[in-house]
Amino acid sequence: MKGFLLTVPVLLPLMGGGILLLAKLAGHRRIGGKCLERVTLGVVSFNSLLVLLLLCSDMWGRRVVLFRLYSNLSVMFKLDLMGGFFAGLIAVLWPLATLFSLAYMREEKRKGTFFAYYVMTYGVTLGIALAGNLVTLYIFYEMLTLVTFPLVLFPLSREAVLASRTYLYYSIGGAAFAFIGIIFVLVFSSTGTSEFIAGGILSTQAMTQQRDMLLLVYVLAFFGFGVKAALLPCYVWLPRATVAPTPVTALLHAVAVVKSGAFAVMRFTYFSFGASFLRGSWAQYTVMAAALLTILFGSTMAVKEIHWKRRLAYSTVSNLSYILFGAAIMTPFGLAAALCHMAAHAFMKICSFFCAGAVMHQTGKNYVYELDGLGKRMPATFGCLTVASLSLMGIPLFAGFVSKWNLCGAALSYGSSIVEEGKWGAFLPVLGVAVILYSALMTAVYMLSVLVRAYFPRVSEGSLKTAETEENDVCANCDPGWEMLVPLFIFAGVILFMGLYPGPFLELFGRIGGAAA
Amino acid sequence: MMQVYDLYATGFGGMGLHFRLDGFRLVYACLAVLMWTACGIFSREYMAHYEKRKRYYIFFWATFIATAGVFLSADLYTFFLFFEIMSFTSYVWVAFDERKESLRAAQTYLAVAVIGGMTLLMGLFILNNLCGTLEMDEAAERARQILSGGGDTAGERKLLYVSGVMMLVGFGAKAGVFPLHIWLPKAHPVAPAPASALLSGILTKTGIFGVIFLTCHMFSGNGAWGLLICVLGAVTMLAGAFLALFSVDLKRTLACSSVSQIGFIMTGLGVSSLLSWAGEENSLAVRGVFLHMVNHSLLKLVLFLCAGAVFMNLHELNLNEIRGFGRRKPALFFSFLMGALGISGVPFWNGYVSKTLLHEAIVEYRELTVHHTLDVGLSGAPVFPEAAKVLLSPAVWTVTEWIFLLAGGMTAAYMLKLTVALFVERHPVRQPEFDSMGTSYMSLPGSLAISLPAALLFFLGLTPSVTMDFIADLGQSFLGGKTAESVAYWSWKNMQGSLISLGIGIVLYLGPVRMWLRKRVGDTWYYVDRWPAWLDLENLIYRPVLTVLLPGIFGTVFTWTDERLFPALARTFMAVSAVFCRAMDQMADGLILLARKTTHRQVKEHRSQSEGNWLAVIVGTAEDILLGASDCLTGRRRRLGCRPSSVGRMCERERDAKHVINMVEESFSFGLMLFCIGLCTTLVYLLYAFFV
């Protein structure tokens, strides 16, 4: 029964969040203050510790069925390399993000509700990471929509209501397409269940006889899961959801939700359909083209956007498609590169969002053009932002460079391998490299313009006036407290470490990729 | 020949780093140390009055490390890594004083660096994919195999050329080669002078380092490539010299001069590649290239620091404002004069040696084309056929030689212009003030930092067969030179080229520069900028393309997608699904509605109003009376009470009837009218048929 330990990290935050909600309903008075913070932080860090312990233990490959819904539909958890990687990533990020958001939300009312859902989301995301079959993945995937929906709704402004409605429609609609895929996998599965097995579980008979049908279903499901990863036709919810408080946008819309989408796509591609079945088919070219288009689109829109958080959200749109593009290469190297970018982007984007959050919290400034000269007043925050920005651009020595390098390498080697096979889609991977470089250029524009403004303010007639106001709120505009800075420093440190010494990470990703494809 | 040392840092940055120390790298490492020391000493004085000195020094030394890393790298990955860091840290130099022009220039610098870096990266990806490695030696080896037909397909060779050109764009952007030279004239005038000295003296050489790798390692002995480099070099050489001649800003002139000198180096590289393609000994060219690189680094160090000495006192760079400043300042005069004589290629100064070698190389190749000894080499070499014609035509190379001499002459002319302006002419107003600064304008360490390197220029030029040959021996193996030839630098034949150049220079100075590029106002002459303001590649092409065209196209497409297409798609989807859902909904509702309208229709309430409906009132009243009477008779009234009046019901009937009649009338008259029109048409037709 040792396997049931696997369910604890999933259920514990769910229960914790539930208790917080109940306490709130019961009108517990003390739940608003220090007690709430302690409970939240305690549950989250204990859970992270548990996950990390699990990863260090001998639980690898163990599977546990929590309960059966109906004959071959079971809720099952499994710890394999890929799920373990995602769970580990979440477990590292969540306590730090919680620390940040506790400080960020301290002045808010109704924060009891907020943290209840925040904690629950942790459990649900871990559920996606540790899900052992497609059905479980799907259940937690839908749950993720439901528990994050109140978080987007949290400000209760008109915009927030609209944004959360959009989010709900898109997510549930996307999941409906994914559902079609699940049914087909179940019907044509060679094992009779939807369990994830590296290399895919479709029966050989189905692969030959129902080939085109299955490919169509794959494309549908890719776009379905792609909704959470903000793939092109269905990205609208992501920039709109930036009305939520910054910790939510940072963690959920740069890490948990969008990464769950990408993770689900990878699971679906490599563990259900099988990369070898899809490689070189029209379905692969379709999804690859969609990912490339999204990269182009996202990075261009980010340049046009002047609201800082929305700009970052568009940047997420394009970066998520880097991951999808890597996944769509469907070679071991491609998956490894995609995972590498997934990890690197998680740290880069959460770091940039938190910097934006710190600035908003300290100064209330939302737009890029308001940031003139802030670099000197908030040196620590903007130092971390510089690291994250350079990394996003793909400057050497930072994590982003490593992942983009691998992504382009994977694309080019796949491109030359399909040239040898004489397939027509060979231009797509090479085009992908060009698109990634274009996007890197755009990233340089939209990230550097923020930094340049912050460090080299435009000297204008208003400079006297700003100097005056600077005198007035000199304390309000300085760096935030340690609770916000510590996560930022850790994220920036990880980015640098991954950039300077990526060997062990790359080896891990290579192993996952090698096992999966 | 010296021992080669290798250093590996495995695992760093994913692919591991590989450093090497050989002759070429040693010379440039030493140069970097020398230049940073001199600039560091000078910066203490130059920066004394600026705030944010700390930021300047941090990026000053960060760039030093990055530049040293570039020059010591032995694989392209390491090279690229430090190259990018160098680009970003040196950006801060340009933006340093945060004025509007500085920020704009810095923007240009950053844009060129980032775009160049991205293009370079793309080239590296392709090269890595082709060769499977980025180690300089192995990649070059593999590239030569592919070029010599050892590759699998012609496609690979084509891809190699693509990769080479992309890398050339990246390197060329940093070096300031012609269409990408735009950042130099913008960034130098606004950057602090020590930073300019380094930017121009050594940072551009990192780009040349890359071009040397491409030309002498990857495409060694490739005629087409050599021609490409040669053409780029010649254009850069001439364009830079033209810009410099027209400029009236001290540092801008020096910056344009850098562009021009980079052109000299590129031309030499191209010719050396052509010579080795022709199967000839190319060590003359190679040594010329390397020595000119070293000389130019030292020359620009001295010249820019002199400009810095002017700027830190006057905060002006316009020739009209600073003229006469150098009078009675011997240290400044000495340093600037050494630099000017050196860069103009006057015999006994260092520039003469390298320019002579470059000139000899061009002449050597021209001789080959004249004597048609090249036909043998052509048959086996894989060259584009169009390029072969140019390569073999002696006229082309005679023209190249004259371009070379002309550019040398222009160098002399603009240096003469600067020297005369600074040290001979007098400022109409501030001259006494300038003269009073005789001792206070520069401190001792600062003046030593300038004049010692300046003395070195002269020393190198006086002892070429000892010092310069030693440097060339160290460096030439990296550029593919093999033998150590001793050249008679002081022979009449070699001096000729230099003297022709100087002659051209003096003619140019006395003619156009003094006559046309100056204007007389009252008693004094003023230097005027005759360069047409619109003729600026950056504002004419690059900025519009980058800031208007590209974002315009992509932005419009994507905004349209975002604001029109997707909402329209969403609306269409919603509308279609709404219709569908309503239809499904009405399947059930429809039955109920149908029943309500027919079998389960509700009883109408009759209103008892009688105004205007006299017929209905009469008929209704009559019916009332009749029914009342009959009720009275049958006794129904007693049992059920009075009936409601029939007048209202009748009124309603009458209204309905009237409405129907109305409709009928209207439709009838409409029908009649149509019928009439029809009849008339028929009539007209009959008349028409009858008469025609």
Ranges A31-35, A219-223, A338-342, B172-176: which has the least confidence: A31-35
Q: Do B496 and B565 lie in a common domain?
A: no
Q: For residue range B400-438, what is the model confidence (pLDDT) as tens digits?
A: 888 888 888 889 888 888 888 888 888 878 778 777 777
Q: Is residue B582 part of a domain?
A: yes
Q: Which pLDDT band, with edges at 50, 70 and 90, does B380 fall under?
A: very low
Placement of tokens 């004025």 in the chain: B99
Q: Which pLDDT band, with edges at 50, 70 and 90, does A502 fall under?
A: confident
Ranges A355-369, B92-106, B547-561: which has the least confidence: B547-561
Q: Do B547 and B566 lie in a common domain?
A: yes
- CB B80 to CB A396 under 8 A? yes
Q: Do B463 and B552 lie in a common domain?
A: no
Average pLDDT, chain B: 82
Mutation target vs B (from A223, A300, A305; most B CBs, 10 A cutoff):
A300
Q: Do B250 and B211 lie in a common domain?
A: yes
pLDDT over 60 at B607, yes or no: no
Q: Is residue B192 part of a domain?
A: yes
Predicted local confidence at residue B682, as pLDDT: 92
pLDDT over 60 at B375, yes or no: no
- CB A396 to CB B13 under 8 A? yes
Q: Which pLDDT band, with edges at 50, 70 and 90, does B379 fall under?
A: very low
Closest listed residue to residue A49, CA positions, set A12, A104, A77: A12
Predicted local confidence at residue A461, as pLDDT: 42
CB of B544 less than 8 A from some CB of A:
no
Domain termination site, one of B527, B548, B578: B527
Which residues touch A515 (CB under 8 Å, ≥6 apart)?
Answer: A81, A198
Q: For residue range B637-678, what is the model confidence (pLDDT) as tens digits?
A: 777 777 777 777 788 888 888 888 888 888 888 888 888 999
Which residues touch B637 (CB under 8 Å, ≥6 apart)?
Answer: B628, B631
Which residues touch A136 (CB under 8 Å, ≥6 apart)?
Answer: A74, A75, A76, A77, A127
Q: Are strands A73-78 and B5-9 parallel, antiparallel or unpaired?
A: unpaired
Predicted local confidence at residue A1, as pLDDT: 60
Ranges B166-180, B496-510, B517-531: which has the least confidence: B517-531
Q: How far is A88 from chain B (nearest CA, A)?
A: 22
Structural domain that includes position B408 = 5-527
In B226-285, the residues whose Cβ lies within 8 Å of chain A are none
Mutation target vs B (from A310, A456, A506; most B CBs, 10 A cutoff):
A456
Q: Are strands B5-9 and B17-21 parallel, antiparallel or unpaired?
A: antiparallel
- CA closest to B568 among chain A residues: A233
Q: Is residue B641 part of a domain?
A: no
Which of A393, A397, A459 is opposite residue B85, by nearest beta carbon? A397
Ranges A29-43, B229-243, B246-260, B619-633: which has the least confidence: A29-43
CB of B114 less than 8 A from some CB of A:
yes
What average pLDDT does the segment A310-324 reach? 92
Residue type for position B19: F
Q: Which pLDDT band, with edges at 50, 70 and 90, does A292 fall under?
A: very high
Q: Indicate the DSSP class of residue B216.
A: I
Q: Do B230 and B192 lie in a common domain?
A: yes
Write the burial class of residue B485 (CB in 10 Å: 0-12 exposed, 13-18 middle, 19+ buried): middle
What average pLDDT does the segment B618-633 reach? 83
* Contact present, A235 and A188 (Cβ < 8 Å): no
Tokens linked to A279: 């490689």
- CB B126 to CB A412 under 8 A? yes
Predicted local confidence at residue B153, as pLDDT: 65
Higher pLDDT, B495 or B381: B495
Q: Do B559 and B422 lie in a common domain?
A: no
Q: How far is A81 from chain B (nearest CA, A)?
A: 21
Q: For residue range A224-277, what is the model confidence (pLDDT) as tens digits?
A: 999 988 888 788 888 888 888 888 888 877 788 999 999 999 998 998 888 888
Residue type for position A255: V
Domain termination site, one of B499, B527, B555: B527
Tokens linked to B457: 């220029």
Q: Which pLDDT band, with edges at 50, 70 and 90, does A30 fall under?
A: low
* Contact present, B292 and B358 (Cβ < 8 Å): yes
Strand-pair partners of B520: B525
Write the burial class of residue B607 (CB in 10 Å: 0-12 exposed, 13-18 middle, 19+ buried): exposed
Ranges A409-423, B164-178, B325-339, B666-680: which has the least confidence: A409-423
Predicted local confidence at residue B50, as pLDDT: 79
Q: Do B71 and B157 lie in a common domain?
A: yes
- CA closest to A498 among chain B residues: B13
Predicted local confidence at residue A219, as pLDDT: 92
% of chain B exceeding 70 in pLDDT: 93
Of A479-488, B480-489, B578-587, give the range with the top mean pLDDT. A479-488
Distance of CA A316 to the CA centre of its chain: 9
- CB B121 to CB A413 under 8 A? no
- CA closest to A438 among chain B residues: B118
- CA dist list (Å): A398 to A92, A356, A494, B5, B222: 19, 20, 9, 28, 37
Predicted local confidence at residue A263, as pLDDT: 93
Tokens linked to B494: 């070699």
Q: How far apart are CA A279 and CA A276, in angstroms?
A: 5
Ranges A395-404, B50-59, B526-535, B652-661: which has the least confidence: B526-535
- CB A456 to CB B103 under 8 A? yes
Q: Is residue B670 part of a domain?
A: no
Q: Which pLDDT band, with edges at 50, 70 and 90, does A363 fall under?
A: confident
pLDDT over 80 at A285, yes or no: yes
Closest listed residue to residue B516, CA positions, set B424, B508, B408: B508
- CB B566 to CB A233 under 8 A? yes
CB of B559 less than 8 A from some CB of A:
yes
Q: How far is A264 from chain B (nearest CA, A)?
A: 25
Q: Do B551 and B520 lie in a common domain?
A: no
CB of B162 less than 8 A from some CB of A:
no
- CB B114 to CB A413 under 8 A? no
Angle at B632 between CA B627 and CA B636, to 5 degrees: 85
The conformational region for residue A480 under phi > 0 = left, psi -120 to 50 = alpha, else beta, is: beta
Q: Indicate the DSSP class of residue B476.
A: G
Which of A236, A296, A440 is opposite residue B566, by nearest beta carbon? A236
- CB A501 to CB B95 under 8 A? no
Tokens linked to A173: 């609609």
pLDDT over 80 at B482, yes or no: no
- Entry pTM: 0.77
Taking one residue from A and the other from B, the number of pairs with CB-CB distance under 8 angstroms is 87
CB of B62 less than 8 A from some CB of A:
no
Q: How many domains is chain B built from?
A: 2
* Contact present, A83 and A131 (Cβ < 8 Å): yes
Predicted local confidence at residue B485, as pLDDT: 66
Q: How far is B251 from chain A (nearest CA, A)?
A: 23
Q: Evaluate the CA torsion angle A162, A164, A166, A172 in order and state its sign.
A: negative
Tokens linked to B262: 């980079």
Average pLDDT, chain A: 85
Q: Is residue B297 part of a domain?
A: yes
Q: Do B459 and B555 lie in a common domain?
A: no
Which residues touch B78 (CB under 8 Å, ≥6 apart)?
Answer: B17, B18, B19, B69
Predicted local confidence at residue A126, as pLDDT: 92
Q: Which pLDDT band, with edges at 50, 70 and 90, does A469 fall under?
A: low
Mutation target vs A (from B15, B52, B557, B558; most A CBs, 10 A cutoff):
B558
Q: Do B470 and B566 lie in a common domain?
A: no
Predicted local confidence at residue A468, as pLDDT: 45
- CA dist list (Å): A480 to A248, A484, B118, B266, B293: 18, 6, 36, 53, 50
- CA closest to B83 among chain A residues: A396
Q: Is residue B601 part of a domain?
A: no
Q: Do B209 and B249 lie in a common domain?
A: yes
* Contact present, A200 and A275 (Cβ < 8 Å): yes
Tokens linked to A89: 């990533």
Chain B residues close to A301, C-beta within 8 Å: 558, 562
Q: Indicate the DSSP class of residue A425.
A: G
Q: Is residue B666 part of a domain?
A: no
Residue type for position B364: E
* Contact present, B276 and B270 (Cβ < 8 Å): no
- CB A503 to CB B558 under 8 A? no
Q: Which pLDDT band, with edges at 50, 70 and 90, does A347 fall under?
A: very high
pLDDT over 60 at A31, yes or no: no
Q: Which pLDDT band, with edges at 50, 70 and 90, does A477 fall under?
A: low
pLDDT over 50 at A427, yes or no: yes
Chain A residues close to B84, C-beta within 8 Å: 395-396
- CA closest to B15 among chain A residues: A503
Which residues touch B323 (CB under 8 Å, ≥6 apart)?
Answer: B421, B422, B425, B426, B427
What average pLDDT does the segment B35-39 reach? 89
* Contact present, A200 and A270 (Cβ < 8 Å): yes
CB of B65 less than 8 A from some CB of A:
no
Chain A residues close to B85, C-beta within 8 Å: 395-397
Find the chain A residues whose C-beta atoms sit closer than 8 A to any C-beta of B.
233, 236, 296-297, 300-301, 303-304, 390, 393, 395-397, 401-402, 405-406, 408-409, 412-413, 416, 433-434, 437, 440-441, 444, 448, 452, 456-459, 499-503, 506
Q: Is residue B404 part of a domain?
A: yes
Chain B residues close to A296, C-beta within 8 Å: 554, 558
Q: Which pLDDT band, with edges at 50, 70 and 90, does B632 fall under?
A: confident
Predicted local confidence at residue A156, as pLDDT: 87
Q: Which pLDDT band, with edges at 50, 70 and 90, does B374 fall under?
A: low
Q: Do B504 and B547 lie in a common domain?
A: no
Domain termination site, one of B509, B527, B545: B527
pLDDT over 90 at A344, yes or no: yes
